[in-house]
Amino acid sequence: MMLGLIIISIFVLLVVSIIIFEIKNERIYQEKRRQRREGKQPKQTIPKDPFPEETIAKPKPTETPKQEPIKKEKKLPICTYPKFTHVRLIEMGLSDEEAKEFVQELIPQLEAQIPLIEEVLAIPDFHQMERLTHSIKGSTTNLGTGGISDLLVECNTYLKTGTDIDIAKAYLGYLVHYTKELKEQYS
């Protein structure tokens, strides 16, 4: 009886510790995102834009202002995130090697989802794109922060209400870029 009580106590303590740890990490993550949005974080190198500037709709000059209303320039996302890090897994008690293995298992999942996202982008079906990105977003955010994890959070948030095909294509281009970067980082 006493041994069972001790085991249950240890289990409860472990669960509570993990919950507190996750809450702490989430607060840190949200603060970093807030700082990035407010521009308080140092500038980082911007990955190559997956869509050159000439694909952005620009206003056409008109002879007289009354002939045609000037179209607003499209604002495509510029996704610049710090390198992905698996520190979250290490803080949860895994060894560095075990954490890297988890990330290496994530890479084929990402590579398998990209063609599926491309297919529904061709339709375009924003609801299905949101569902596909949501499924891999959970995996990436559980394993770490930065890079592909931050991208999928931003992309999935956009796809919940957004309907601009060019913005969705831009996010897909970044998804390919950050997946490749993750593969290089963990190979």
- Is the same domain home to 175 and 89? yes
Domain-embedded: residue 134? yes
Q: Residue 10: pLDDT band by 50, 70, 90 thresholds?
A: confident
- Is the same domain home to 85 and 31? no
Give the pLDDT of residue 106: 92
Q: Residue 17: pLDDT band by 50, 70, 90 thresholds?
A: confident
CATH number of the domain enclosing 179: 1.20.120.160
Tens-digit pLDDT profile for residues 41-71 = 544 455 555 555 554 555 555 555 555 555 5
Tens-digit pLDDT profile for residues 139-172 = 898 888 889 999 999 999 999 998 999 999 999 9
- Count of the separate structural domains present in the chain: 2
- Is the same domain home to 34 and 82? no
**Torsion, Cα of 34, 38, 43, 45 (10° steps):** 60
> 82-109 in b/e burial notation, b at 16+ Cβ within 10 A?
eebbbebbeeeebeeeebbebbeebbee
Tell me the residue range of the domain where 15 lies: 1-38
Q: Can you tell me the mean pLDDT for 8-20?
A: 85
Q: Say which DSSP state 123 is in.
A: T
Domain-embedded: residue 70? no
Tens-digit pLDDT profile for residues 85-127 = 988 888 888 899 999 999 999 999 999 999 999 999 999 999 9
Give the pLDDT of residue 156: 93
Domain-embedded: residue 49? no
Domain-embedded: residue 68? no
Q: Which of 19, 143, 44 is nearest to 85 (CA)?
A: 143
Domain-embedded: residue 45? no
Q: How far is residue 116's CA from residue 107's CA, in Å, rounded to a whole number?
A: 15
